[in-house]
Amino acid sequence: MESLMNLYHEVMKRADPRLQGYPLMDTPLLMTSILLAYVYFVLSLGPRLMANRKPFQLRGFMVIYNFSLVALSLYIVYEVRLEGWAEPWGLSTYTWRCDPVDFSQNPEALRMVRVAWLFLFSKFIELMDTVIFILRKKDGQVTFLHVFHHSVLPWSWWWGIRVAPGGMGSFHAMVNSSVHVVMYLYYGLSALGPAAQPYLWWKKHMTAIQLIQFVLVSLHISQYYFLPSCDYQYPVIIHLIWMYGTIFFVLFSNFWYQSYTKGKRLPRAAQQNGVPKVKAN
């Protein structure tokens, strides 16, 4: 415990002071408590509360929720591209290669801090994905992959953003938010009911888009290992992003194989007006 506390204090000494005062960012205790409560609810409390109750429909809420996340994801993509990754339009301050974090008080750097926090905050909003599963008694959709993604990744992202909001590590935020625009658009349309079903033929392609996401993130971050020199300040973040990109590529490839190659797909009734079996970025 003493070693862990020493490590914690060492990390917090390096915390970016510009994030002080942002919701959830002053201490890891609040965000850790939220994630632990989330895991407890979706794996224990929620199913027990719903055991003798009829499933909630929640169609109206799901429509509003999913389309709100489409709008939020679009805004995050716009902000990240404008502040760092819009080189073709002459607006970029990034090189797409080794980009260290700008810890200055420049307006551009502060804007990246804000959008990095917003990206993290969106992950806590997305915990509602699993709560919806539980309330609708879609317990079969609460897979290991789903819970792992929604709990472990926000926890690790908190540390990365608290220490290094920006730089080459922000590329995955832009790609991930772009994928979420497509993903939550699908879920929002699906929640509209049978009338929208003929327009949802592209469900299979969402998994392909997710796989492409992991390839792009891993390839981009892998540059670090081959560049002659790189001044990115926190290499451990590079290692984590590469590791997560690789792990999720393997997990989603297995989902693709099980769902579309072997034909083990959910019954159509289980897919209607809801979210597919795996809902992750």
CA distance linking residue 18 with residue 31, whole number of Å? 18
What's the pLDDT score for residue 251? 82
Per-residue pLDDT tens over the stretch 252-262: 787 777 767 76
Residues in the chain, how many?
281
Q: How many CB atoms lie within 10 A of CB 33?
A: 10
CA distance linking residue 77 with residue 82, whole number of Å? 8
What's the pLDDT score for residue 210? 84
Q: Are 159 and 11 in contact (CB under 8 A)?
A: yes
CA distance linking residue 223 with residue 160, whole number of Å? 19
What's the pLDDT score for residue 92? 56
CA distance linking residue 274 with residue 230, whole number of Å? 45
Q: How many CB atoms lie within 10 A of CB 237?
A: 23
Question: What is residue 54's three-state secondary structure?
Answer: coil
Give the residue numbers annotated as catalytic, written as ranges: 149
What's the pLDDT score for residue 144? 85
H helical segments located in the chain: 2-13, 28-40, 46-50, 59-83, 107-125, 128-135, 144-163, 171-191, 203-222, 235-256, 268-271
Per-residue pLDDT tens over the stretch 195-236: 888 888 877 788 788 888 988 998 999 999 998 888 899 999
CA distance linking residue 202 with residue 216, whole number of Å? 21
Which residue numbers in the chain have pLDDT < 50?
Answer: 88-91, 266-281
What's the pLDDT score for residue 194? 86
What's the pLDDT score for residue 31? 96
